[in-house]
A and B are shown apart, each in its own frame.
Chain A
Amino acid sequence: MNPDELLFAETHEWAKVADEDGAKVATVGISAFAVEQLTDLVYMELPSVGTAVEAGSEFGEVESVKAVSPLYSPVTGEIIAVNTGLPDSLETLNADPYNAGWILKVKLTDESSLSKLLDYGAYQKQCAEEG
């Protein structure tokens, strides 16, 4: 996926919403900027399939040598898939954060929070201010 096709949370997660079998499903990951800022990733903890997540709530954590960072869901729904191989190959997040580095697929139960997400341009602007 190309980052300009994605929506971003201020907390650096991305979401790509698509129709799957008549339901809206969001693929969720973390941005290249976040991965670069974290550097030296050593551990990632992910939830299991079936867990309900809410936009803005914590669903997992990623740990670097220096610090631990919570992962926040950019969407509300139920987790239908988890990239379980990712914690054992965290370098994938550096190499390909928007494709192979996906983290969750969430079947949306409430789409109202999507409007709070940023497009890539607005997100890049935020990163430039933080960077």
Chain B
Amino acid sequence: MTDSLARTPLYDWHVARNARMVDFAGWSMPVQYSSIVEEHHATRKAVGVFDISHMGRLRFDGAGADKFLDRLLTRRVIGIEQGLIRYSLVTNQAGGILDDVLVYHLADASGTPFHLLVVNASNRAKIVAWVEQHLTAADDVKFRDQTTDTAMIAVQGPRALDALQPLVDVQLSDMKYYSGQVANIVGHAGIVSRTGYTGEDGCELIVAAEAAHAIVERLFVNGDSLGIRPVGLGARDTLRLEAAMPLYGHELSETIDPFQAGLGFAVQFKDRDFIGATALKELKIRPNQPVRVGLEMTSKRVPREHYPVLAGGEAVGEITSGTFSPTLERPIAMAYVQPKAAELGTELTVDIRGRAEVARVVTLPFYQRESK
């Protein structure tokens, strides 16, 4: 591990828990503490805690913030009710996806509204540059990249709210999914949101960097009897894959459009204009584009990224993410395939290192939690 990697405020905490640290987008991050499968099940059955401080947190203050972000994002920002969070995309003029993001519309303790953009670690520099390139003095926006001043912690799983509730001064069960608010978290000012990337119920916290360690320690004291576990990027990937959540660099890129990815809901054209809108209107009606599908395998060999997908021996697409699903106990994958091969139930094959293995197109997500 070289010293050139950035460290989150919880780096020492990970090392003390014997995490295996890896380079992820220039950050030294825990890939696993015990085992990916154990951490995965802990999140599905109890509660998992993830350090996601590597993700970018970009804050926008000022009267023009909503108008400015509305121009940058594919989904309407103007009019998002205060306290709500939306999944959205940043596209370039050609309609290519620069990043998938969450946009928060919150108010600080004094009631002054602000917006927050949470972006992928791998795209942070690109999005910061994109913002700076488009921001002018006339926009009346104060933009700050708060990533290294803050930490971000995900608390996910059926017991996540039980573990977290004693630490915060807001009633978590009253918060809607995809809502957030400024809160007091064991004496520290922060943001609590009902969001996540695991397919489970849960919350994400944004706190000052220096408060992160104490908050996580308290969380583990509270969660001990609930089966709380630290969870690394390895299980974060298997969890999001079972929940069929796209990951930038795999299911999303500048050469994939939102409609192919199944993210048409995040593109709103009506009565507004944004960067990429003109191109996206064309892309939306472009016929015969490969589409994102879910594949389930019959054998135990795991399809990995870039493996060819075939129908009757003819290449019809490519795997973008694949893993062994700890919940389903079989290999699963997401792929882009031609529409004729994308129908549910279609039997395809994946070329796994020279041997064809049977795959079936299945409904996404692979896993859905029981609603309460």
Name A residues whose Cβ lies closer than 8 Å to a Cβ of B.
39-40, 42-43, 45, 61, 63-68
**B14 interface residue, CB < 8 Å from A?**
no
Q: Knowing A39-B32, A42-B324 touch, does A65 contact B234 (C-beta < 8 A)? A: yes
Q: A43 touching B301 by the CB < 8 A rule?
A: yes
Instruction: Give the most central of A63, A65, A66: most B CB within 10 Å.
Output: A65
Q: In the assembled complex, which residues on chain A have CB atoms less than 8 Å from the CB atom of B326?
A: 65
**B268 interface residue, CB < 8 Å from A?**
no
A71 → chain B closest CB, angstroms: 13
Instruction: Name the one of B301, B324, B353 contacting A65, with C-beta atoms under 8 angstroms.
Output: B324
Q: A42 touching B300 by the CB < 8 A rule?
A: yes
Complex Cα–Cα for A61 and B354 (A): 13
Q: Is the interface of B mostly helix, strand, loop or mixed?
A: mixed
Complex Cα–Cα for A67 and B22 (A): 15
The 8 closest A-B pairs by CB, nearest first: A43-B300, A42-B324, A65-B36, A40-B36, A65-B324, A40-B37, A39-B35, A40-B35
Q: A65 touching B300 by the CB < 8 A rule?
A: no
**B260 interface residue, CB < 8 Å from A?**
no
Q: In the assembled complex, which residues on chain A have CB atoms less than 8 Å from the CB atom of B331?
A: 42
A59 → chain B closest CB, angstroms: 14
Q: B234 touching A66 by the CB < 8 A rule?
A: yes
Complex Cα–Cα for A31 and B304 (A): 25
**B195 interface residue, CB < 8 Å from A?**
no
Instruction: Name the one of B32, B35, B238, B302 contacting A63, with C-beta atoms under 8 angstroms.
Output: B302
* A-B residue pairs in contact (CB < 8 Å), sample of 29: A39-B32, A39-B36, A40-B35, A40-B36, A40-B324, A42-B300, A43-B300, A43-B301, A43-B302, A43-B324, A45-B301, A61-B353, A63-B300, A63-B302, A64-B324, A65-B36, A65-B37, A65-B238, A65-B302, A65-B323, A65-B324, A66-B31, A66-B36, A66-B234, A66-B323, A67-B304, A68-B302, A68-B304, A68-B353
Q: In the assembled complex, which residues on chain B have CB atoms less than 8 Å from the CB atom of A40?
A: 35-37, 324
Q: In the assembled complex, which residues on chain A have CB atoms less than 8 Å from the CB atom of B234?
A: 65-66
Q: In the assembled complex, which residues on chain A have CB atoms less than 8 Å from the CB atom of B31?
A: 66
Complex Cα–Cα for A63 and B352 (A): 12
Complex Cα–Cα for A63 and B300 (A): 9
Q: In the assembled complex, which residues on chain B have CB atoms less than 8 Å from the CB atom of A66?
A: 31, 36, 234, 323
A91 → chain B closest CB, angstroms: 11
Q: In the assembled complex, which residues on chain B have CB atoms less than 8 Å from the CB atom of A45?
A: 301
B298 → chain A closest CB, angstroms: 13
Of chain B, the residue at the smallest CB distance from A94 is: B35
Q: In the assembled complex, which residues on chain A have CB atoms less than 8 Å from the CB atom of B323?
A: 65-66
Within 8 A of A (CB), among B124-182: none
Q: B302 touching A42 by the CB < 8 A rule?
A: yes
Complex Cα–Cα for A45 and B302 (A): 12
Q: In the assembled complex, which residues on chain B have CB atoms less than 8 Å from the CB atom of A43?
A: 300-302, 324
Complex Cα–Cα for A43 and B32 (A): 20
Of chain B, the residue at the smallest CB distance from A131 is: B20
18 new A-B contacts at CB < 8 Å, known A39-B32, A39-B36:
A40-B37, A40-B324, A42-B324, A42-B331, A43-B300, A43-B324, A61-B353, A63-B300, A65-B238, A65-B302, A65-B323, A65-B324, A65-B326, A66-B31, A66-B234, A67-B304, A68-B302, A68-B304
Complex Cα–Cα for A108 and B301 (A): 30
Of chain A, the residue at the smallest CB distance from B326 is: A65
Q: In the assembled complex, which residues on chain B have CB atoms less than 8 Å from the CB atom of A39?
A: 32, 35-36
Complex Cα–Cα for A74 and B35 (A): 28
Q: In the assembled complex, which residues on chain B have CB atoms less than 8 Å from the CB atom of A64?
A: 324
Q: B36 touching A63 by the CB < 8 A rule?
A: no
Complex Cα–Cα for A61 and B302 (A): 12
Of chain B, the residue at the smallest CB distance from A66 is: B234
Instruction: Give the most central of A42, A43, A67, A68: most B CB within 10 Å.
Output: A42
Of chain B, the residue at the smallest CB distance from A70 is: B353
Q: In the assembled complex, which residues on chain B have CB atoms less than 8 Å from the CB atom of A65?
A: 36-37, 234, 238, 302, 323-324, 326
Of chain B, the residue at the smallest CB distance from A67 is: B304
Q: B37 touching A63 by the CB < 8 A rule?
A: no
Complex Cα–Cα for A65 and B35 (A): 10
Complex Cα–Cα for A39 and B37 (A): 9
Complex Cα–Cα for A64 and B32 (A): 13
A62 → chain B closest CB, angstroms: 11
Complex Cα–Cα for A39 and B302 (A): 15
Complex Cα–Cα for A67 and B234 (A): 11
B235 → chain A closest CB, angstroms: 9
